[in-house]
Amino acid sequence: MSPEHRIIIDTDPGQDDALAILLALASPEIELLGITAVAGNVPLPLTARNARVVCELAGSPDVPVFAGCDRPMKRPLVTAEHVHGKTGLDGADLPDPAMPLQPVHAVDFLIRTLREQVAGSVTLVPIGPLTNIATALQRAPDIAPRAARIVMMGGAYFEVGNITPAAEFNIHVDPEAAEIVFSSGIPITVVPLDATHQAITTRSRVDAFRALGTATGRAVAGWLDFFERFDVEKYGAEGGPLHDPCTIAWLLRPGLFAGREINVEIETEGRFTAGMTVADWWGVTDRAPNALFLRDVDADGFFSLLTERLARLR
């Protein structure tokens, strides 16, 4: 099968980031051109390490991994070890990666790739803070019309915030970067908390990964056993929401999701609302739509897809 999507994943792994990478690597519809690491869930040295750990787990040590920005554009870095553990991938005991980190900065890789590839052929999939993407757009504005689409995990409307009362973590870490991305003119698909909070890791769903009997299945189950504990306590739900793989699932099966084309603006100055995605879901302003904002996901279909694809990995 020829790939339908040629993508770059921009990420701050994170257990749910790891599952997004694994889903992409397990899907022949997707050609993963590279992974760009950014500071977010944990600092940059760990996110760059974790991306390579995941590639090696999947048997894909040839995927190039690039380290990018180690802090937000204008703010101190906020991390989430309280959710992901001190390594970012707590829950599975995996060896340090043998594959090298690429010597090129992630921002330079993004710019070079979008300039060299056929215009409209590369989709960017940021599933962490948007610092790398925004820095590339700021440094090389000519790349914006060359990107096919941005499919990102971040933001919220009905579900409000998960790191502050108003803000989702990825946007909260670097709202100035998010503002640049949403103003870029690139077509954007937003997978917000409104959708991902429906993709809950129930016990039977985690057990299905463990039952695969593979190194990948065992690692995924271990990650989720650790990762979901925070959200179970916080939300009182049976499991935790599985955020980042929803971006790859949308590329593979957009029919699993429903949303609207709306205007989304980023609050950068609010005393209590910095990092808020101001989503005009009801069309009460005259601001033009700039994003497909997803609200619903078929959770059973999503987990069936994820389990079936991860079964293909060793």
Q: Identify whether the C-beta of residue 116 lies closer than 8 Å to the C-beta of residue 8.
A: no
Q: SS3 for the chain, per residue? A: CCCCEEEEEEECCCHHHHHHHHHHHCCCCEEEEEEEECCCCCCHHHHHHHHHHHHHHCCCCCCCEEECCCCCCCCCCCCCHHHHCCCCCCCCCCCCCCCCCCCCCHHHHHHHHHHHCCCCCEEEEECCCCHHHHHHHHHCHHHHHHEEEEEEECCCCCCCCCCCCCCCHHHHHCHHHHHHHHCCCCCEEEECHHHHCCCECCHHHHHHHHCCCCHHHHHHHHHHHHHHHHHHHHHCCCCCECCCHHHHHHHHCHHHEEEEEECEEECCCCCCCCCCEEECCCCCCCCCCCEEEEEEECHHHHHHHHHHHHCCCC
Give the separation between CA 157 and CA 160, rounded to whole angstroms: 5
| Token pair for 43 | 């600092």
- The residue from 84, 172, 197, 243 that is catalytic is 243
Q: Does residue 172 carry a catalytic annotation?
A: no
Which residues are part of the catalytic machinery?
A: 243
